[in-house]
Chain A
Amino acid sequence: MTQPFPFSAIVGQDDMKLAMILTAVDPSIGGVLVFGDRGTGKSTAVRALAALLPPITAIEGCPVNSASPADCPDWAGITTNRTHEIPTPVVDLPLGASEDRVTGALDIERALVDGQKAFQPGLLARANRGYLYIDEVNLLEDHIVDLLLDVAQSGENMVEREGLSIRHPARFVLVGSGNPEEGELRPQLLDRFGLSVDVTSPADIDLRIEVLRRRDAFENDNAAFMLRWQAEDATIRDQILSARKALRDLAPDEAALRDVAELCLALGSDGIRGELALLKAARAYAAFRDDTAITRTHIRAAAPLALSHRMRRDPLDEAGSEARVGRVIETVLG
């Protein structure tokens, strides 16, 4: 398959698509967690997002996709000033990846053959300025999770082992997906995701039919299908680009701040991270819709995404936290 399924052609799953778009508008929101059944298009959406995102400009040959020569880590030995456009990196972190592959490690091949001590960058380096996608994030081994938490917090990857002492920037948007039936996610990691969405199997038969129809057209009538949907994708891409520009001029007013704080208070969400994520998400949403101020409409739309996974939860409370968020939004925002 040369081209991924177009982002805009994904049937339904509006929350998931919105959450991904919001992180594209403002990467500092900090990642999306997608939880739900198998085969509901989680991976498809991530691959599609990669194709949708506008390219970035990076120094040629830089292992961490730096924007300027000053940002290139010195161990990479980059001497050129030339830049080129590359697609926004979307890097897969497979479940079985070893720590060495994630952080980077001594280049064993060169150590064995040439006796050279060289650093082989890992997945974190490749994901810098882009996305790191972890399918089945809830099954990830604990030591990799620890490592990711550390890097996600500091935005920098440090490797101190085998006589190497290496550091490089690693700022990425974390996208995780998984099926909660197969295991829970550690609260620390949960909290690290800016937004979360639950995806479900298509609820009614018309949606199921439409899913199959588009898939069929994608496989069997690819050229026409891509032509039709790439135009839509281009529209979204333009919206994202202009939203990024608009972001700077969108400052929340007093009323919006109060709404956000009240919501978080009413939900008893832990820490201040929830407020920040909600505010950023609402702002990104306003920018994406080309609105000139952050209003309750935006907060209302962003709140379930930003808050449903951070409520101090009774881990045994089965009633979906989304429902609780919905109720609180009704009472607080009216």
Chain B
Amino acid sequence: MGAEAQWARAVIALHLACADPGGLGGVLLRARAGPAREAFLRALEHGSARLHPAMPEDALFGGLDIDATLATGRIELRAGLDAHDGPLILPMAERTPPRLAARFAGMLDARRAHPLIALDESAGDEERVPPALADRLALHVDLEAVPLAAIGPVETPLPGPAALPRAQDAQIAEIAGLAEAFGVPGARAGWLALRAAAAHAALKGRAVIAAEDIELACLLVLAPRATHLPEPGAPPAPPQPEETRDPGSEAESLPEDNPPTDLPIEAVLAQLPEGMLARIAARKARAARGTGTGDARIGNRRGRPVPPRKGRLGGTARLDLVATLRAAAPWQAARGRPKGGPLRIRPADIHLRRYEQPSDRLLIFVVDASGSAAMTRLAEAKGAVELMLAAAYARRDHVALIAFRKAEAEVLLAPTRSLLRTKRQLAGLPGGGATPLARGLREALEMAKSARRRGMTPTLAILTDGRANIALDGTADRGAAASDALDMARAIRASGMEALVIDSGTRPEPALRALADAMQGHHFALPRADAGRISAAVSAALDA
């Protein structure tokens, strides 16, 4: 399927979202900045408001207008952008923190009169649009692969809310069948697909929903949420509605040439964008990753108090009353405060509370799953990670898992607190192959850096028997492999990560001690390690 069709579908999605903003919520547009996205957003130029995930909450959802309140001496409220009479555009939707996503979800549940267009600009698996938000935006489209040549005009003006035709019973059954066939979780998506089909029929000026509408709804709503592909050739047939059901006018308005449709799965599959099939197939593994959502590090709500600082009252900051009064006090005479009158406070006087908070710890396990380690140690390493997980669970640590074998290092688990997921990933960890230690370390360093950007304190725990034999560039060269591993170790030290190396070989390996020294980390030789001892060693090193 071509890029033109993909572009056309994105345009249809926009029109649908405008035709039924309350029901469909809006569009989740996967596109980084580029001509396609610009062309798409140009249609929204007039009347739309741009949001940003980093906006203070009172700007988004309204609150006290401090400046006006202090100036007038009366309580002045200001409306948030959620009250804006027009479409809302949310760039960098993947950066939306969970608490903001919850507010947006509430806003969408309350049914706005205009759609929300969320732009997903995530670069990899590491980030994703919070599911609470993504799930409520009915239409998911991808402009990533649309080249300049494929971009057509977007018809404006955009349609307004339209009266939607009602689905027939058979069509309800059909959409339910499609949702089932694509393994779409939850019940919301089915309903959204139904609305999308009805909206498309309305846009086309039809009084009844046609097969074409359902096909489109399936493409825009159901297929992007699929967890598995329908069995080709054996679509689960929806049960035919009983004859007695709904004998009303709808059945009579059914056009003659519209026989009870077969599931249009084949048609839908044929039109899915390239790469979508592969992505759906990989969805299971991917769904198990995502970001481990935890607490945001917010400097003004808990922890050890640090001196207050000037600032503006957003939705979440807390006023430091004493500091504010202290800042205002010297100026009272200059501001002409009458004797006994109320204090004259200006917005510039406002001081906020700030707190310092120890950040969450992230334990990154880098596990050697190579052939030399696999037979004897992999099971033990798994056991140790499981025990550590149980301990981390109690301490509210985050955990991540990287395995290296053959020529590759693979992130099996992005930072998470979910034990369920970790357990599953761990159980499926294969073993065998060469030992690309340097790649494992590089992967771990990258993850640690990105975790630190998100405010966590990463610690690396490296489990290996130390016989590195694959260099960073993928060649099988022992000498290069060892020096690459040492280089990576130095890089880890340079970035100031805490690290410990657990030597799981049958005989302690001097190279690993050197590695640990290069990282300025702890080193443990555990010739006959069992899971319990590894776990105890790691805990002891961490608590030291």
Q: Contact residues of A with B, CB < 8 Å?
A: 1, 37-41, 43, 92, 94-100, 106, 108-109, 111-115, 135-136, 139, 141-143, 162, 179-184, 186, 201-202, 205-206, 208-209, 211-213, 215-216, 219-220, 314-316, 318
Contact = CB atoms under 8 A, between A and B. Distances in A.
Given A39-B189, A316-B389, A96 B424 contact: no
B102 A136 contact: yes
Contact of A183 (B101, B185, B417, B424): B417
Contacts of B190: 208, 211-212
B417 A43 contact: no
B311 to A, nearest CB: 14
Given A108-B319, A201-B185, A143 B176 contact: no
B161 interface: no
B318 A181 contact: no
Contacts of B64: 108-109
B42 interface: no
Contact of B172 (A108, A112, A201, A216): A216
B295 interface: yes
B412 interface: no
Contact of A114 (B105, B169, B293, B342): B342
Interface in B158-184: 166-167, 169, 172-173, 175-177, 179-180
Contacts of B62: none
Contacts of A109: 64, 69, 75
Contact of A136 (B98, B236, B238): B98
28 contacts: A38-B131, A38-B188, A39-B185, A39-B188, A40-B186, A40-B187, A41-B187, A94-B99, A94-B103, A95-B98, A95-B103, A96-B100, A96-B315, A96-B316, A98-B316, A113-B74, A139-B98, A143-B302, A179-B131, A182-B418, A201-B186, A201-B187, A202-B187, A208-B180, A209-B173, A216-B172, A314-B390, A315-B393
Given A40-B186, A98-B301, A220-B166, A186 B99 contact: no
Contact of A100 (B57, B302, B318): B318
Contacts of A39: 135, 185-189
Contacts of B331: none
B331 to A, nearest CB: 15
Contacts of B110: 1
Given A113-B69, A211-B190, A38 B185 contact: yes
Contacts of B186: 37-40, 201
Contacts of B316: 96, 98
A184 B419 contact: yes
Contacts of A215: 191, 194
Contacts of A135: 102, 105, 132
A315 B172 contact: no
Given A114-B342, A139-B98, A205-B239, A162 B321 contact: yes
A318 B188 contact: no
Contacts of A108: 64, 313, 319
Contacts of B111: 1
Contact of A186 (B57, B188, B396): B396
B74 A183 contact: no
Of A94, A112, A136, A139, most buried by chain B (CB within 10 Å of CB) is A112
B512 interface: no
A212 B418 contact: no
Nearest to A11: B187
Contacts of B131: 38, 179, 182
B473 interface: no
A100 B315 CA distance: 11
Contact of B315 (A98, A180, A318): A98
Contacts of B152: none
B296 interface: yes
Contact of A205 (B101, B238, B294, B342): B238
Contacts of A114: 342
Given A95-B99, A98-B301, A184-B420, 13 more contacts: A94-B106, A96-B57, A96-B315, A109-B75, A135-B102, A136-B132, A183-B418, A201-B186, A205-B173, A208-B177, A209-B172, A209-B176, A209-B239
Nearest to B389: A316
B274 interface: no
Given A94-B103, A136-B132, A205-B180, A212 B321 contact: no
Contacts of A38: 131-132, 135, 185-186, 188
Contacts of A211: 176, 187, 190-191
Contacts of A96: 57, 97-100, 102-103, 315-316
Given A94-B102, A316-B390, A183 B292 contact: yes
Interface string B127-166: 0000110010000000000000000000000000000001
B69 A112 contact: yes
Contact of A181 (B98, B298, B421): B421
A316 B423 contact: yes
A31 to B, nearest CB: 20
B33 to A, nearest CB: 28
B423 A318 contact: yes
A28 B73 CA distance: 46
A139 B103 CA distance: 13
Nearest to B73: A113
A108 B345 CA distance: 13
> Closest 9 CB pairs between A and B?
A96-B99, A39-B186, A39-B188, A95-B102, A208-B176, A209-B176, A143-B302, A95-B99, A212-B172
A112 B306 CA distance: 23
Given A113-B69, A115-B343, A98 B169 contact: no
B356 interface: no
